[in-house]
Structure formats: C-alpha cells, structure tokens
C-alpha cells in the first residue's frame, strides 16, 4: 500500500480535520510517517491522544490558534474544514480564512511541505462525458468548490513567493465503498488515499502539484499525466461494487448526478432565499 520503509519519518507531522471521516482514516494510516502525529480539529477526538500522538483542539478561523498549531511541525496534511456544501458564511471561516491561516503559519514557522485536501468540486461543472487534466480551467460547482479553488491558488502563491511546496489532491469520493453510479467513476479507496498523501509528503520537487484522487476504476474522468512525477499507482477499483450499485433505481438522465462531474453539488442552494 505504501512505501514507509523508504522514508525517514518526520519528527512531527500535523493532521488537521483529524476527527472527520477521512481524518480518522489518516490518523491510523499516517502513523509510520511521523515520530509524533499532531492531531487537530474543532471538536474533541476519540480516542484521546495515544502513544506518539498529541492533540490540539482549535478553530481554523482563529489565526492565533492556527499559529500555535503549526509551531514545531515539519509538514502539514490539511484535511480540516467544512466538507459539504453550505452557505458562504459557513464556508468562509473554516475553509477560506482557515487555509490562509495554515499557509501564513507555515511561512512564519518555516514549514515547507503541505498536502492539501482539495476536491473534485473545483471542476464540478464539467460534464461526465468529458475527460480533463489538471491544466483544465477550474469550474467550481459550489461555495465549497470555490473554497477549494481558493486553496489551490494560495498553494500556488505560497510556492512562487515563499517556496512552500504543496500537493493538492482533488479528492473524488473517498468512502469505504462506491455508493452510486457517479461514485463508480470518482471512488477513492482509503488505501489509495493514503498512498496519495504519502506521495505528497515525500516526493521531491513537487512545486505546486495538482493530482486527481481516484482509484483504478474502470472509467475515470480525470487524466493525471501532469502529476506523473508523484508515481501514484492506485491499486483498488470500484468494480467490486458494480452489482450493488446497478441494483439501485437509476436517476433520470437529466439529474445532475448523471450529467455533471460534481453531481448534486451543482444544484445545492442558494441558502439565504426567503
């Protein structure tokens, strides 16, 4: 699954969003990569800090708290923030201010490597009959997608200006299994997610690299040729779920789930209409 034996572990690795769905997965799978794994979220975590772990609860919207969070770490795996579509006001603090605070703290404390949980919702308005690579113009499908697009711009800026290298993973659908027809194309297994994070942490000279996060599915909408230097080789496939998915009632042909790469996100909201 990974190549931990080929790498010297970081002394202290920060994982934000450690209480979230993917954060819980990475809390387990990133242990070989750090002598101390610093875990952070806005809510309490269970279980509490174990051996070779430390926990710091904090709000990404709080610049001072994030500065303390980043102090003393060697690299950052940034999975914190809101992970679904919500109002712009709900997204603003954790996702937009939050990632700015992460990069500012990285600059102040000399952290030179970030792995950023971006999203396929950065390009969600492309149709499912299109295949794109990382050079395609961004077409965010939501406030959430906009926040991830902003994060990619920050990553590019902080590399060009301060030399902080980032791998932005445009995560497809990372769950224990593919849950619908769209996810047959976007599914990313937990093992393949861990491999992507590992490659993001240890591949030299990445600058700002954008890589699409999908497993070795029968059909994928994304071409990762511009991230070949990461040597990401997905091992899993959504085909194991095909019979279960095809037994479900199929959405209408004009349903966003069947038309756009971003699926239902393209139609969520607005949230403040009376």
CA 180 to CA 248: how far, in whole Å? Answer: 8
Residue 9 has, within 13 A of its CA and on its CB side, a CA count of 15
Dump the DSSP string for 151-191.
HHHHHHHHHHHH--EEEEEEE-B-SSS--STTHHHHB--HH
Nearest-angstrom CA–CA distance, 40 and 94? 13
| pTM exceeds 0.85 for this model | yes
What pLDDT shows up at residue 1? 37
The secondary structure of residue 214, as a DSSP letter, is -
Sketch out the chain's domains with CATH numbers. Answer: 4-267 (3.40.50.720)
Cβ-in-10-Å burial (0-12, 13-18, 19+) of 217 comes to buried
How confident is the model at residue 3, as a pLDDT?
42
For residue 48, the model assigns a pLDDT of 80
144 in catalytic set: yes
Please identify which of the residues 103, 143, 144, 212 carries the catalytic annotation. Answer: 144
The Cα–Cα gap between 60 and 56 comes to 11
Per-residue confidence in pLDDT tens, the chain, 274 aa? 344 446 889 999 999 999 999 999 999 999 999 999 999 999 988 888 888 999 999 999 999 999 999 999 999 999 999 999 999 999 999 999 999 999 999 999 999 999 999 999 999 999 999 999 999 999 999 999 999 999 999 999 999 999 999 999 999 999 999 999 999 999 999 999 999 999 999 999 999 999 999 999 999 999 999 999 999 999 999 999 999 999 999 999 999 999 999 999 999 988 876 5
């Amino acid at each position: 699954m990974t190549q931990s034996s080929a790498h010297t572990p970081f002394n202290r690795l920060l994982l934000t969003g450690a209480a979230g769905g993917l954060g819980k997965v990475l809390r387990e799978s990133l242990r070989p990569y750090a002598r101390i794994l610093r875990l952070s979220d806005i809510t309490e975590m269970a279980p509490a800090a174990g051996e070779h772990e430390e926990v710091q609860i904090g709000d990404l919207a709080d610049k001072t708290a994030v500065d303390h969070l980043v102090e003393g770490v060697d690299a950052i795996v940034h999975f914190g923030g809101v992970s679904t579509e919500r109002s712009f006001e709900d997204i603003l603090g954790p996702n937009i201010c939050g990632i700015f605070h992460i990069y500012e703290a990285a600059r102040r404390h000399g952290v030179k490597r970030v792995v950023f949980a971006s999203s396929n919702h950065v390009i969600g308005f492309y149709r499912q009959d299109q295949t794109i690579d990382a050079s395609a113009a961004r077409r965010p499908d939501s406030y959430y997608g906009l926040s991830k697009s902003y994060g990619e711009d920050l990553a590019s800026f902080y590399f060009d200006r301060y030399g902080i290298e980032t791998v932005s993973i445009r995560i497809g659908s990372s769950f224990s299994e593919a849950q619908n027809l769209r996810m047959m194309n976007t599914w990313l297994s937990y093992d393949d997610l861990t491999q992507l994070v590992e490659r993001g942490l240890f591949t030299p000279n990445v600058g700002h690299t954008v890589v699409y996060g999908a497993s070795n599915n029968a059909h994928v909408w994304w071409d990762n040729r511009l991230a070949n230097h990461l040597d990401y080789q997905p091992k899993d496939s959504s085909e194991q779920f095909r019979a279960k998915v095809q037994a479900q009632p199929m959405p209408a042909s004009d349903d966003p789930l069947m038309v756009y790469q971003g699926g239902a996100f393209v139609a969520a909201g607005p949230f403040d209409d009376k």
